[in-house]
Amino acid sequence: MSSPPGALTLDAEALYGELLRGVRALRTPDTLLVGITSGGAWLAERLQKDLGLAGAAGVISSAMHRDDFARRGLAASAQTQLPFDVNGAHVLLLDDVLYTGRTIRAVLNELFDYGRPASVQLAVLVDRGGRELPVQADFAGARVSLPATQQLALARDAAGRFSFEVEGA
């Protein structure tokens, strides 16, 4: 679904460049990248490559710890895959859009099911405000305001380029 004329337009590729700079500043040699399915996982995968990091980035799902699990059920998207020991690790969580904070809460619960990290930071492509929980990103490529009736969805084409779609009224 495309955005109506005059609607918010964001250059996801330009924001990815900002995210790349922000992640470079946040990470240390011990930092492990973990992307939240699915948009955050796409970001983590590309960042892992663009930063020249060995191995694969982790992927984490919020599905099992969501407070609306009974309504939403188990998503068909990728499930958690952490190719490293979480205990004592410095983890940088990546997501495409930060909104209410509920996904981040669920992801933290999932992460701690795998162990106790030394630290967890959060970097997002877009922070759209509207928090329902006390969660904030250590880095955001952009901060935007959208009505609660709209959703911002990250898309990835076959070449791996990112774009945003604004969905809803």
- pLDDT, one tens digit per residue, over 40-90 is 999 999 999 999 999 999 999 998 886 765 555 555 556 899 999 999 999
Residue 7 domain flag: no
Residue 97 domain flag: yes
What pLDDT sits at residue 3? Answer: 42
Residue 5 domain flag: no
CATH number at residue 77: 3.40.50.2020
Where in the sequence is the domain holding 95, given as residue range(s)?
A: 12-168
Residue 107 domain flag: yes
DSSP β-bridge partners for residue 125: none
Residue 48 domain flag: yes
Is residue 165 classed as helix, strand or coil in its secondary structure? strand
Stretch (H or E) spanning 3? none
Is 136:99 a contact under the CB 8 Å cutoff? Answer: no
CA-based diameter of the chain, in Å? Answer: 49
Dihedrals phi, psi of 103, to nearest 5 degrees: -65, -40
What pLDDT sits at residue 75? Answer: 57
Number of domains in the chain: 1
Residue 73 domain flag: yes
Residue 1 domain flag: no
Is 162:62 a contact under the CB 8 Å cutoff? Answer: no
To the question of pTM greater than 0.95 for the whole model, the response is no
Of the chain, the percentage scoring pLDDT greater than 90 comes to 80
Residue 122 domain flag: yes
Nearest to 50 by CA among 77, 22, 30: 22
Q: Is residue 7 predicted with pLDDT exceeding 90? A: no
